[in-house]
Structure 1
C-alpha cells in the first residue's frame, strides 16, 4: 500500500503542528511555574512584613529602631519603618495581582493552542 503524496504532506503538517504545540506548552508551563514561585516569594515577604509590623507596633512611640537596608541597618524613627513596611506590603500585593493576570493570559493562550490543534486534527481527519 503506497502512501499518497497529499497524505504525506498532511502528516508532515500535523507533525509540525504537534511539535509547535509541544514547544509552546513547555514554555508556557515553565512560565506558569516561575509565576507561582514569584507569588510564593511575594506572599512570604508580605507575611514577614506584617509580622514585623505587628511586633514593632507594640513599642512605645518616638522610639528609633533599626531597619534592614540591603546588607546594612539604618537607625530610623518607628513611624518611618512602619510606613516602609506598609509600602512593601502594598507593592507585593500589587505585584501578585499583576502576576495573577499574566497567569490568566498564559492559561488562556495554552487552551487556545490546544483548541486550534484539535480543530486541525479534526479537519485533517474529515478531509481523508
Structure 2
C-alpha cells in the first residue's frame, strides 16, 4: 500500500514543522539553563562573600531604591533558598531539554524513514 504524493507531502511537512518547533524550543531552554546557572554562580559568590564577613558587620539589601538592614543569617538563608530553587529549575529544564531533543531526533528519523521507503507505508 502506498501513500499518495499529496498525503505524503502533508505528512512530511507536519513532521518537519514539529522538528523545527522542537529545535527552536531547544535553543530557548538552553538559554534559560545558561541564565539560571549564571544566577546560581552569582548567588554562590555573594553567599561566600557574606559568610566571610564578621558577625558584627551590618549587611544591607536593596529593596527598590533603598537599602534595608538584614542580619547576616537571614541574608545567607535567603541566598541558600534562592540557590536551591534555581538548581531545581535547572534540573527541570534539563528534563525538558532531553524531551525536546528526543522529539527532534524522532522527527528527523521519521522524515528519513519516509524518504528511504519512497512513500510506501
Q: How many residues of Structure 1 are paired with residues of Structure 2 in the alignment?
A: 120
CA distance in 2, matches of 1:18, 1:71: 55
Secondary structure of the corresponding residue to residue 69 of structure 2: strand
How far did residue 69 of structure 1 move?
4.2
Alpha carbons 1:32, 1:106 under 8 Å: kept: yes
Distance 1:108 1:71, change over 3 A: farther
Q: 1:70-109 residue pairs with structure 2 within 5 A? A: 72-109=66-103
CA distance in 2, matches of 1:36, 1:71: 33
Partner of 2:5: 11
CA distance in 1, matches of 2:107, 2:65: 46
CA distance in 2, matches of 1:70, 1:89: 21
- Counterpart of 1:39 (choices 29, 33, 41) is 33
Q: RMSD across aligned C-alpha pairs, in angstroms?
A: 2.2
Runs of 5+ in structure 2 lacking a partner? none
Partner of 2:23: 29
CA distance in 2, matches of 1:59, 1:51: 13
TM-score (norm 2): 0.84
TM-superposition CA deviations, 1:67-122 (whole Å, max 9, x none): 23455533110010011111111111110000000111111122222233333344
Partner of 2:105: 111
Partner of 1:49: 43
Runs of 5+ in structure 1 lacking a partner? 1-6
Partner of 2:58: 64
TM-score (norm 1): 0.80
